[in-house]
Chains A and B, each alone.
Chain A
């Protein structure tokens, strides 16, 4: 009994270590080359990571809409626009995202239009 429980505990610990390692790995690959949002410049190709602070549904007509997000990290925020999308699974208030694209402008603010995006689990710490 004692033996079994010890091995079970060991397995548990091993699993936890593996998970942590996997998250670390994910973080390393996903967050590679990420820059603080506060340092982003217009017309630059960037990769940034942040938290969804606000969501905006912009109807252009009955059929055509776009989804706009305000993505923030500790250094600043920018707008992320997904044209033609009303909603994207997994993207909600508070979601963490890594986005990559060329910085454009929308409504007087820096914006990424249709960037490549990746959802991050909460276990992965944001770098900035």
Chain B
């Protein structure tokens, strides 16, 4: 393409049009090529379009987190009553009332969030609502609490998904941590590739799970009503010890069980986070979807708890309560077994999907924090495939760490869970109440009542969870959240003071008179092509004072260099040899630069010739003196460091070809590049 243009350019007079894209004869970095291979081609920024979802798809996309928690919520209530409380068969009398209490909280939450959706149709996450109404600091608390819960959602959902798997294939029980890690890795990779919130991926497992649960509950009811009741689960004799009575029923135990069931409420906020994704009229559609989700969640939670009571499922290692219920309901016939397998598969898939929703929410929330300078700015950057890659990676690492630490055990993870999400519920509902008081829009009294009740109830639940689960592990979160908030505030102060300093009198600083002198120093180790290149560049700068400097670590070598230099007769370019008795080159350079800049009138530029390597291992053959020097000089005012690159390209003959040509595209330069480019592919 370019060749004929350059050939004819001599014949045609006048300027030529620019080529379509500048020809860069430098191969992409290896990391970029690996990324391309794994993640696919980089997406164009314009492709950041939000698809609008209809209600059925939106229900699938946003409710997988909430609905999937029914897969383990009942089990956790039972676990608390039986294993922690040790109240034996009495436990089955309490499961349903506790579930009903939880559903009452759910109803309050759903109505509270209806208010939020209407008030914040653009994005009404707890962070935004709290920030808007209560200020930045409470918003950090809400945000951090929610972030920790997103991490836990991944850990809990994946662990529960693995539990659904090993309840069918008991041989996989020993491999549960590895399988959970594999799930996290797959989800992370999918999200790094940029899995769109595309309906189809979500719709199938979510609706399959809904169908499986409703079917199971209906079959259970029918069997109980007309088929002579449900049979109790048959347990191994060695596992029945969980039914022995060792404790008594107390208010604390009931509250503790209630708190364990709180896990079912996580994910209710998802719809309010994603209102803009709904089809117009988005807030109305979002409200309807929220109601439908709340309805399903309540029915499923109640149904599963009731069935668990009927069949007297007991949480044991290696078999989830839900799988025991399914087995008991469907029986051991061929159809029954097939339905059992279907239920387990649907459960596993929806749990994995629930983990996936965290992968959408965590990076977005983290980017909100970072936008407000409360988290590292890297979290606001969209990566290769337009997703918040850094947030995704951070979430996967944190979730994987938890899974490994707690052995992919849902029961051990649950005490950490739910307190964060209820903290953010409380703050966002309090924020909504404050908003009603502030704005006094039409019907604000009703809104205030709903959100006020929501704030109080969720606040009470938060305290209940905090107190009852404190010993079990909630203390970690109760300590972690304030510490994290403190860290974020520190970070924010740092960012703010930086911003302030950089912005102060920027215009005046740009117009300030420049310093009188410019000294340029070329650091030289030996007389070679890298040095020649740096000297050439230095001469284009036409400074007031130009000198080559050699730091003498080896006096013999320095003397030889001085001798060579005097024979070279580089006109008026002196070579200075400085002693360095302690062999700390960067210190010697620093000293010299400080000396030069000490008059306050001199701008000092240090040119460092640097070899650029095509392969990473070539770089390992040399120390990083150049970087160390640059770092040492970073502290000195008016000291500037410029690296002068020399690209090492080994041709077949072992001859060094200098690849940086001076801009002009000539035939010979193109041929030059082709040779270099061809050979570098081989490395």
Chain A interface (Cβ < 8 Å from any Cβ of B): 52-62, 65, 68, 70, 86-87, 92-94, 107-108
Contacts and interface: CB of A to CB of B under 8 A. Distances in A.
A79 to B, nearest CB: 11
Contacts of B552: 93
Contacts of A62: 569
Q: Which 8 A-B pairs have the closest CB atoms?
A: A58-B574, A93-B579, A62-B569, A54-B578, A56-B576, A55-B577, A57-B575, A56-B574
A65 B569 CA distance: 9
B573 A54 contact: no
Given A59-B566, A93-B552, A93-B555, A54 B571 contact: no
B460 interface: no
A92 B570 contact: no
Contacts of B659: none
Contacts, number: 59
Contacts of B565: 57, 59
Interface string B523-559: 0000000000000000000000101000010010011
A85 B574 CA distance: 13
B558 A59 contact: no
A68 B574 contact: yes
A94 B570 CA distance: 26
A68 B517 CA distance: 21
B568 interface: yes
A94 B571 contact: no
Given A56-B547, A57-B562, A93 B577 contact: yes
B572 interface: yes
Contacts of B566: 57, 59, 65, 86-87
Contacts of B581: 94
Most chain B Cβ neighbours within 10 Å, of A59, A61, A92: A59
19 contacts: A53-B578, A55-B562, A55-B577, A58-B572, A58-B574, A59-B572, A59-B573, A60-B571, A61-B571, A65-B566, A68-B576, A70-B578, A87-B562, A92-B559, A93-B558, A93-B578, A94-B579, A94-B581, A108-B517
A92 B558 CA distance: 10
Nearest to A62: B569
B547 A53 contact: no
A126 to B, nearest CB: 15
Contacts of A93: 552, 555, 558, 577-579
Contacts of A108: 517, 599
Nearest to B577: A55
Nearest to B573: A59
Contacts of A86: 566
Given A57-B565, A60-B571, A93-B552, 14 more contacts: A54-B576, A54-B577, A54-B578, A54-B592, A56-B547, A57-B562, A59-B568, A59-B571, A59-B572, A59-B574, A60-B572, A92-B555, A93-B577, A93-B578
Contacts of B568: 59
A127 to B, nearest CB: 21
